[in-house]
Amino acid sequence: MDLFVVIDYKLIIIVEILVYLFVLIGNILNICVFTKWSRPRNNANHINNNIRISNSPLYLHASSFTNFIEIVYPVLTRIIFDGFEHPKTKANEVLTCKFRYYVLHTSDLISLKDKVI
């Protein structure tokens, strides 16, 4: 029974890292696409040539960027400290616990705000 627990634990770590990498790649691609779409387009029918037709790509770009921040730091620290059992000490408590929750919840609220608007 102990062998199955070890295999399960190792499999979960591998799957978490693979999901983390695929989500990072997908989010970087979203940022690239929405960066291109959120730029002003040239329109020959208007006096001002740099008119933005819609602000939706700009909101989606901001949402993708905050989702990227939400994924990079909090999830990576969770994988390192929970998956690989890196010790939590008083010296790294601020970066591992307090700052992680601050970044997680702040970026989550900013991303949520962009989706509501």
Query: What gap in Å lies between CA 27 and CA 15, rounded to an integer?
Result: 18
Burial of 58 (0-12, 13-18, 19+ CB in 10 A): middle
Mean pLDDT of all residues in 40-63? 67
59-115: per-residue pLDDT in tens? 888 888 888 888 888 888 888 888 888 888 888 888 788 888 898 888 888 877 655
Extents of the domains making up the chain: 2-116
